[in-house]
Amino acid sequence: MGGGTTLVEGARLGFQMTGVDLNPVAWFVTKNEPACSDPAQVKAVFEDIEAKVKPLVQPFYTTTCPRGHTGRCVDRERRPPSPCRPFPAVPF
Protein backbone atom coordinates (compact mmCIF):
# COMPACT_ATOMS: atom_id res chain seq x y z
CA MET A 1 0.00 0.00 0.00
CA GLY A 2 2.87 2.39 0.68
CA GLY A 3 1.31 5.79 1.31
CA GLY A 4 -2.08 4.70 0.01
CA THR A 5 -2.30 7.00 -2.99
CA THR A 6 -3.63 4.33 -5.35
CA LEU A 7 -6.18 3.16 -2.80
CA VAL A 8 -7.41 6.65 -1.99
CA GLU A 9 -7.66 7.72 -5.64
CA GLY A 10 -9.49 4.51 -6.53
CA ALA A 11 -11.94 5.09 -3.68
CA ARG A 12 -12.52 8.67 -4.87
CA LEU A 13 -13.43 7.27 -8.28
CA GLY A 14 -15.97 4.96 -6.67
CA PHE A 15 -14.05 1.69 -6.73
CA GLN A 16 -14.10 -0.69 -3.77
CA MET A 17 -10.40 -0.81 -2.84
CA THR A 18 -8.47 -3.32 -0.74
CA GLY A 19 -4.84 -2.96 0.32
CA VAL A 20 -2.33 -5.19 2.06
CA ASP A 21 0.95 -4.15 3.65
CA LEU A 22 3.27 -5.66 6.26
CA ASN A 23 4.43 -2.24 7.45
CA PRO A 24 2.17 -0.98 10.28
CA VAL A 25 3.10 2.64 9.52
CA ALA A 26 1.93 2.28 5.91
CA TRP A 27 -1.30 0.73 7.17
CA PHE A 28 -1.85 3.59 9.65
CA VAL A 29 -1.15 6.29 7.05
CA THR A 30 -3.42 4.66 4.48
CA LYS A 31 -6.20 4.08 7.00
CA ASN A 32 -6.19 7.72 8.13
CA GLU A 33 -5.56 9.44 4.80
CA PRO A 34 -9.20 9.50 3.65
CA ALA A 35 -10.47 10.41 7.14
CA CYS A 36 -12.62 13.51 7.36
CA SER A 37 -10.84 16.65 8.47
CA ASP A 38 -11.80 20.24 9.05
CA PRO A 39 -10.30 22.35 6.21
CA ALA A 40 -9.92 25.37 8.52
CA GLN A 41 -7.99 23.25 11.02
CA VAL A 42 -5.74 21.84 8.29
CA LYS A 43 -5.07 25.35 6.98
CA ALA A 44 -4.22 26.54 10.50
CA VAL A 45 -1.75 23.68 10.95
CA PHE A 46 -0.07 24.45 7.62
CA GLU A 47 0.13 28.16 8.46
CA ASP A 48 1.73 27.30 11.81
CA ILE A 49 4.30 25.07 10.11
CA GLU A 50 5.00 27.77 7.50
CA ALA A 51 5.51 30.41 10.19
CA LYS A 52 8.09 28.22 11.94
CA VAL A 53 9.92 26.91 8.87
CA LYS A 54 9.83 29.92 6.53
CA PRO A 55 12.53 31.97 8.34
CA LEU A 56 14.83 28.94 8.32
CA VAL A 57 14.35 28.14 4.64
CA GLN A 58 14.01 31.57 3.02
CA PRO A 59 17.74 32.39 2.97
CA PHE A 60 18.30 29.43 0.63
CA TYR A 61 15.91 30.96 -1.94
CA THR A 62 17.73 34.21 -2.54
CA THR A 63 20.39 34.99 -5.08
CA THR A 64 22.61 37.85 -6.13
CA CYS A 65 22.12 39.57 -9.45
CA PRO A 66 25.15 39.62 -11.78
CA ARG A 67 24.92 43.41 -11.54
CA GLY A 68 25.46 43.27 -7.78
CA HIS A 69 21.93 43.66 -6.43
CA THR A 70 21.33 41.63 -3.30
CA GLY A 71 18.66 38.98 -3.63
CA ARG A 72 15.61 38.77 -1.44
CA CYS A 73 12.73 36.40 -1.02
CA VAL A 74 9.51 37.09 -2.87
CA ASP A 75 6.28 36.78 -0.95
CA ARG A 76 3.85 34.63 -2.91
CA GLU A 77 0.96 37.05 -2.29
CA ARG A 78 2.85 40.25 -3.11
CA ARG A 79 5.70 40.44 -5.61
CA PRO A 80 7.82 43.58 -5.34
CA PRO A 81 9.24 45.04 -8.55
CA SER A 82 12.71 43.83 -9.47
CA PRO A 83 15.52 46.37 -9.03
CA CYS A 84 17.16 44.97 -12.18
CA ARG A 85 16.46 45.92 -15.75
CA PRO A 86 16.29 43.06 -18.23
CA PHE A 87 19.59 42.11 -19.83
CA PRO A 88 20.09 43.64 -23.28
CA ALA A 89 19.77 41.28 -26.23
CA VAL A 90 23.07 39.66 -27.10
CA PRO A 91 23.66 39.14 -30.83
CA PHE A 92 24.98 35.69 -31.72
pLDDT tens for residues 35-72? 777 778 888 988 999 899 988 888 777 777 777 777 66
CA distance from start to end of the chain: 54
Percent share of the chain, pLDDT over 90: 7
Task: Name the H helices within the chain.
Answer: 5-12, 24-32, 39-57
**What pLDDT, on the 0 to 100 scale, is given for residue 92?**
47
Residues 6+ apart with CB under 8 A from 34: 8, 11
Stated pTM of the model: 0.41
Whether 17 contacts 9, CB under 8 Å:
no
Tell me the one-letter amino acid at 63.
T
Percent share of the chain, pLDDT over 70: 75
Q: How far is CA 6 from CA 3, 11, 85, in A?
A: 8, 9, 47
